[in-house]
Amino acid sequence: MGRAPCCAKEGLRKGPWSTNEDLLLTNYIKENGEGQWRNLPNKAGLLRCGKSCRLRWMNYLRPGIKRGNFSQDEEDLIIRLHSLLGNRWSLIAGRLPGRTDNEIKNYWNTHVIKKLKIAGIQPKLHKVHKYSDLASASI
């Protein structure tokens, strides 16, 4: 038994969002609030998947999202938090107001790792533990 598909794939728009679509999504969420992402596209008059609407809102349109370059303080904090938390991007984003987990992850993978390697610092690699490793560990 699996989960039902979120939407019928035929007839949906893909690719870049138009200004009109952004406006429809923003107005709908202002009136009705966040949530019910599977039903939102039909109710808002959008030809998009609910997941696409949720990601567009969370990563680009939501008020309070901080766009643009990362400051040196933010970068230092990302490095320190990554050494403590690993690739738990949502936890790291919770300590950087206005930044999304996706934006921080992308920044880490495209900029920070390169800077650390040039500086001769090997970023801590976080491995997924095998079940046998977990079973032998004392909990």
Closest to 102 in 3D by CA, of 114, 93, 115, 113: 93
Q: How far apart are CA 130 and CA 102, in angstroms?
A: 26
Alpha-helical segments (H) within the chain: 19-32, 40-44, 50-56, 72-85, 89-93, 101-107, 113-118, 131-136
Top-confidence residue, 130 or 69: 69
Which residue has 């808002």 as its token pair? 44
Instruction: Give residue 67's pLDDT.
Output: 86
* pLDDT (tens digit per residue) in 1-32: 666 666 667 778 999 999 999 999 999 999 99
**Distance of CA 93 to CAs 44, 51, 81, Å?**
29, 20, 10
State if pTM tops 0.85: no
Q: Does domain 72-118 have CATH number 1.10.10.60?
A: yes
The whole-angstrom separation of Cα 134 and Cα 5 is 33
Question: How high is the pLDDT of residue 125?
Answer: 61
Domain boundaries, the chain: 19-61, 72-118
The closest of 16, 110, 87, 10 to 56, measured between CA atoms, is 16
Contacts of residue 133, defined as CB under 8 A and 6 or more positions apart, other chains included, come to none
